[in-house]
Amino acid sequence: MSIIVQKYGGSSMADVSCIRNVAKRVVQTVTEGNQVVVTVSAMANATNDLLGLAHAVSDNPGRRELDLLISVGERVSMTLLAMAIQDLGVNAASFTGSQSGIITDERHSSARVVAVRPHRIQRALGEGKVAIVAGFQGVSREKEVTTLGRGGSDTTAVVLTAALGAQYCEICSDVDGVYSADPRVVPDAHRLKALPLAGALAMAHCGAKVLLSDALAYAQEHNVVLHANATNQPSGSGTRLPPGDVPDKVIAVTSDDQLWCYRVHDSVPSAQLSALQGMIRAWIPGPKGLDVLVDRRNIHDTVQWPSSWELVGPVATVSAIGRDAVTDPAVVAAACSATPNRIRWWATESAWTAMVTPEHADETQRHLHAELIGDGHR
């Protein structure tokens, strides 16, 4: 029997009705002859509600206690889903991150997985049970509960897929796959039937929010096949993401309007830079110094900014993903002509990126998609 790992996000676990629908989908996968491991996020808004409680009782809650607190959200989801599956006549057992063998480093709120020992998961599968795992959490070697940071349930699902030798990992959400652009912004965006993991990782690095970059990088490194599907759609209807390189042709346009730009005039100690790495999106040499783009969603209360960093202000980026966007002069020229509001632009190995003001991000994304991708037949 094949092992399938499925991950369901907060929108899929939003309420009792949603949880019952997820249970039916899981049971359907079992009846098709598969062993199933499910990773779940906290119910919608549960983590934010728990954080709100923490800040209501403390002006500066400690990270250790915060990890213990917010790990509760996923534990609620896993136990409720186990009950719902059992009511449908299929055996199920729920496990916390530590019970699942997710071993991390010592960093609270942004831990990294260092080992996976899924012995209890394997035992449950051998007993004919669906194994349901609390995403986003693990345990350090010092037996402390840790959390994996924003989007960590994706990482939980991927590392379990690799450790169990599962056939694939299905990431289920309210989006039916990966699109050539945000369809809420670009009406002509189309769903990609297949996308190599390196292409998806380039999209994530440039602001796409469908899949977490850490999970994509782990999947690429460990040859894990991902599927991005909508929870209300059957398996295989979304986007398949096998290991592979960034395509040559431009496949997608992404944008990110949640960035701050800092200008650096002096060198920064390496220890200080290391503490900021999870927040830094890009380093861009410029005529007035080194510009640093910071993901403000990842900024935490205790961060200490170097005194030499000058805050320029909020900015956005819009990126064309594909090697042609970097190497083909005609593509570069077309990209430049489609972004008249750009402040500046640069290229990496897999993407061409323009910096714009946040109010021009949507318009620029539409122009760039129309010029480089159009109806998808470029």
Task: Output the pLDDT for position 274.
Answer: 58
Share of the chain above pLDDT 70, in %: 93
| pLDDT of 378 higher than 50 | no
Which of helix, strand or coil describes residue 263? strand
pTM to 2 decimal places:
0.89
pLDDT higher than threshold 60 for residue 257? yes
H or E stretch covering 133: strand 130-134
Answer yes or no: CATH 3.40.630.30 is held by domain 2-174: no
Buried b (16+ CB within 10 A) or exposed e, 55-69: eeeeeebebeebbbb
Q: How far is CA 371 from the centre of its chain?
A: 28
How high is the pLDDT of residue 232?
93
In this prediction, residue 308 has a pLDDT band, given cuts at 50, 70 and 90, of confident
Q: How far from chain centre, in Å, is Cα 298?
A: 13
> Domain spanning 252-372: which CATH class is it, in words?
alpha beta
Strand partners, 285: 290
Phi/psi at 348 (5° precision): -110, -165
Assign 280 a pLDDT band (cuts: 50, 70, 90): confident
pLDDT tens sequence across 23-64: 999 999 999 999 999 999 999 889 999 999 999 999 889 999
What mean pLDDT do residues 92-117 have? 94
- Is pLDDT above 80 for 298? no
pLDDT tens sequence across 141-163: 999 999 998 789 999 999 999 99
Q: What are phi and psi of 166, to 5 degrees?
A: -70, 155
Distance between alpha carbon 61 and the CA centroid of its chain, in Å? 26
**What is the per-residue pLDDT across 321-354, written as a single tens digit (0 to 9) for each?**
999 999 999 999 999 998 888 888 999 999 999 9
Helix (H), strand (E), coil (C) string for 312-346:
EEEEEEEEEECCHHHHCHHHHHHHHHCCCCCCEEE
What is the 3-state secondary structure of 266-301?
CCCCHHHHHHHHHHEEEEEEECCEEEEEEEHHHCCC
Range with the lowest mean pLDDT among 1-10, 95-104, 258-267, 358-367? 258-267
Domain spans, the chain: 2-174, 252-372
- What local confidence, expressed as pLDDT, does residue 149 receive? 85
Q: How confident is the model at residue 265 (pLDDT cuts 50, 70, 90)?
A: confident
Least confident of 29-38, 169-178, 185-194, 337-346: 337-346
Identity at 287, one-letter amino acid code = P
Mean pLDDT of 220-238: 93
At 64-94, the pLDDT tens digits run: 999 999 999 999 999 999 999 999 999 999 9
pLDDT for res 377: 41
For residues 337 and 378, the answer to whether their CB atoms sit within 8 Å is no
What was the pLDDT predicted at 269?
A: 53
- Given a contact cutoff of 8 angstroms between Cβ atoms, the answer to whether 238 and 200 are in contact is no
Question: How many helices (H) and strands (E) in the chain?
Answer: 11, 17
Judged against a pLDDT cut of 70, whether residue 267 lies above it is answered with no
Half-sphere exposure of 100 (CA within 13 A, CB side): 31
